[in-house]
Structure 1
Amino acid sequence: MRYLVRDRMFAFHEEAWIETEQREKLYRVNRKFFRLRRTFALVDTRGEHVASIVRKAFTFHHTLLIKQEGQPTAKVSKKLFKLFGDRFKVRLGDGRKLRINGNLWDREFDIRHEGTTLAHVSRRWFTIRDAYAVDVMSQQDALLLVILAVCVDHVLQDAKGDQLTNL
């Protein structure tokens, strides 16, 4: 199934909508800034809290925690040392390990488990830069895979912003 993530431009605070291919809104990602931590709240269309994404403070590289129902579901880390492109590793609460790699600069990447692609994230089909597609192959973990795509996108956005401010 294909999900679309659309960033809302010119909003008072940053937010994005996760929609179906038919543009039915499912979830809203609400980005809130705190002093030492950045937090994203994922809520459904009724306003009910579905998940939280919290950026850990005081780390050498980006580390995000995903919590659902108050329990840690996943830990996403950007590898500090890399030879070819950016790579992320994910440790799920059930012990599984996922890898995220591909052309992350252009937001073309796969989420994989033991060589099997669980989801493919792409901006290829969109002429505007504020939307991307998440093609999910495993409906069992669909919500988590979309949340992982949002995490990677925001880490990469932050990294691009850091590079621009350091010029």
Structure 2
Amino acid sequence: MRYLVRDRMFAFHEEAWIETEHREKLYRVNRKFFRLRRTFVLVDTRGEHVATIVRKALTVHHTLLIKQEGRPTATISKKLFALFGDRFKVRLGDGRRLKVNGNLWDREFDIRHEGTTLAHISRRWFTVRDAYAVDVLSEQDALVLVVLAVCVDHVIEDAKGDQVTNL
């Protein structure tokens, strides 16, 4: 199934919507930036918390913790050294380890488990910069995969911001 993540432009506080390919809104991503640890909260259309994404403080590289119902569901970290494209490693709460490989220039990423693609993240088909697609091939883990896509996009955008401020 294809999900669309759309950042809301010109919002006072940053938020994004996760929709189905038929434009049915499923989740809202509220980004709270005024804390030492950046926090995102995924809320369904009824206003109930579905997941929380917390950027761990005091880490050498980006590490995000995903929680559902107060329990850790996944941890995603950007690898320090990657020769070709960005690479992320994911550790799920059930012990599985996923890899996220991608091409920074084309904004194309795959989430894989043991060589099998579970989801594909793409900005390629969107002319508007503030939208991207997440094609989920494993419906069992759909919510976690979409949340991982939001995390990867956040880490890349955050890294671009760091590069601009360091110039």
Match of 1:159 in 2: 159
Which residue does 1:12 correspond to in 2?
12
Distance 1:84 1:106 in 2: 12
* 1:133 and 2:153 aligned: no
- Which digits, 9 at most, give the CA deviation of each residue in 1:34-58, with x for residues without a partner? 3310000000000000000000000
Q: CA RMSD in A?
A: 0.8
Question: What one-letter code is carried by the residue in structure 2 that aligns with 1:135?
Answer: D
**Residue 124 of structure 2 aligns to a residue in which SS?**
coil
Partner Cα distance (1:85, 1:21) in 2:
27
Q: Where do residues 1-167 of structure 1 align in structure 2 (5 Å cutoff)?
A: 1-167=1-167
CA contact (8 A) 2:5 2:131 kept: yes
Deviations 1:7-39 (A, max 9, x none): 001101110000001100000000001331000
8 Å contact from structure 2 (residues 77, 90) kept in 1: yes
Shift of 1:105: 4.0
In 2: Cα distance, 1:146 partner to 1:130 partner: 16
Residue identity opposite 1:93 in structure 2: G
Superposition TM-score, scaled by structure 2 size: 0.98
Q: Across the two proteins, how many residue pairs are aligned to each other? A: 167
The one-letter amino acid paired with 2:51 is A
Q: For the residues of structure 1 that align with 2:104 and 2:112, how far apart are their CA atoms?
A: 14
- 1:66-122: CA deviation from partner (whole Å, max 9, x where unpaired): 000000000000001222221000000000000000113432010000000000000
Query: What amino acid does structure 2 have at the position aligned with 1:141?
Result: D
Report the Cα distance in structure 1 between the residues aligned to 2:34 and 2:113, rounded to whole angstroms.
33
For structure 1, the 5+ residue unaligned runs are none
Q: Does structure 2 retain, via aligned residues, the 8 Å contact 1:29–1:42?
A: yes
- Compute the TM-score of the two structures, normalised by the length of structure 1: 0.98
Alpha-carbon contact 1:105-1:156 (below 8 Å) kept: no
Aligned equivalents of 1:137, 1:46: Cα separation in 2:
26
- Checking the alignment, whether the CA contact within 8 Å between 1:117 and 1:137 is kept in structure 2 is yes
Give the percent of matched residue pairs that are identical in Structure 1 and Structure 2.
Answer: 87
Distance in 1, matches of 2:41 and 2:136, equals 21
Q: Distance in 2 between matches of 1:25 and 1:42?
A: 12
Q: Any conservation in 1 of the 2:40–2:53 contact (CA below 8 Å)?
A: yes
The letter for the 2-side match of 1:97 is R
Distance 2:59 2:37 in 1: 11
